[in-house]
Amino acid sequence: MISTADPFVDEQIRRLEDRLRQEQDVPPQVLHGWVEDARERFADARVTSFVPILVERAVRAQLKSGSVAGARATAKRLLAGELPRRWRHTRGVAGRAEEVARLLPRDEGQVLVASAWLHDVGYAAEVTVTGFHQLDGARYLARHGVPRRVCALVAHHAGAAGVAELNGLAGELGEFEDERTLVRDALWYCDMTTSPDGARVSFDERMAELRARRGDSDPVVRALALNGDERAAAVRRVEDFLRRNG
């Protein structure tokens, strides 16, 4: 542990880390690393009594930054207890995203994996407002300081625009940009090749399961007539990328 010249400050930071560990579902070693990095950054602060405050601000900003650890913690808190099947699906999607991320530049890979962890938080009761989970999730994350790009990926994942059109929410979804990049396609791919229980399935199997589970009248199923080809094309682009680079 990095130590300051002031034992009182050291004790305050130790207590801060203990408190954050109780509040946040982040791996202890990850949280400790964030605390130590922040402590080192502010080691030369002219007023040492301010250091614990600065460290706490820095760590809380990290938790909100869209980092993978913070994203996983947020998703687990919102889904694991209330919606265990949705949590299993989310874990499966994130696992696939981690595999794809290894083939991407580091920053792009982290955006993909963070978005994968967060993509379905809009189903949680705490988050639901309109009942359109992509939009509700994106707005919730934006309110909590998650980077705009991650929020937009969550907003548009898995052909959300088609559902928004049917639900009369296209204007609201337009608050977030659909970036139409490989990262966006990869998030769609990971979601649409993972079953509700987190197992790997083909795109065709996933769409068949979706139709059977939701029924023909559901807007999510009806939206397939509007953008099913776009979803399939995104999956093909990622599969081509994986074949070339895997």
pLDDT given for residue 136 in this prediction: 98
* 69 part of a folded domain: no
Strand partners, 194: 200
Question: What domain count does the chain have?
Answer: 2
For the question of whether the overall pTM of this predicted structure is more than 0.75, the answer is yes
Separation CA 73–CA 60 (nearest Å): 13
pLDDT given for residue 3 in this prediction: 52
The whole-number mean pLDDT for each consecutive block of 10 residues of the chain, a chain of 246 residues, reads 69 91 73 84 85 89 72 90 97 97 94 96 97 97 89 96 95 97 98 97 96 92 92 98 93
Separation CA 228–CA 167 (nearest Å): 17
Strand partners, 200: 194
Q: Are residues 95 and 217 in the same domain?
A: yes
User: Measured on CA atoms in the order 105, 107, 111, 114, is the torsion positive or negative?
Assistant: positive
pLDDT given for residue 6 in this prediction: 78
* 79 part of a folded domain: no
pLDDT given for residue 145 in this prediction: 78
pLDDT given for residue 66 in this prediction: 56
**With 0-12 CB in 10 A as exposed, 13-18 as middle and 19+ as buried, what is 172?**
middle
* 1 part of a folded domain: no
Separation CA 70–CA 88 (nearest Å): 18
Q: Are residues 34 and 152 in the same domain?
A: no
pLDDT given for residue 64 in this prediction: 64
Distances (CA, A) of 104 to 10, 114, 119, 236: 39, 14, 19, 17
Q: Are residues 91 and 209 in the same domain?
A: yes
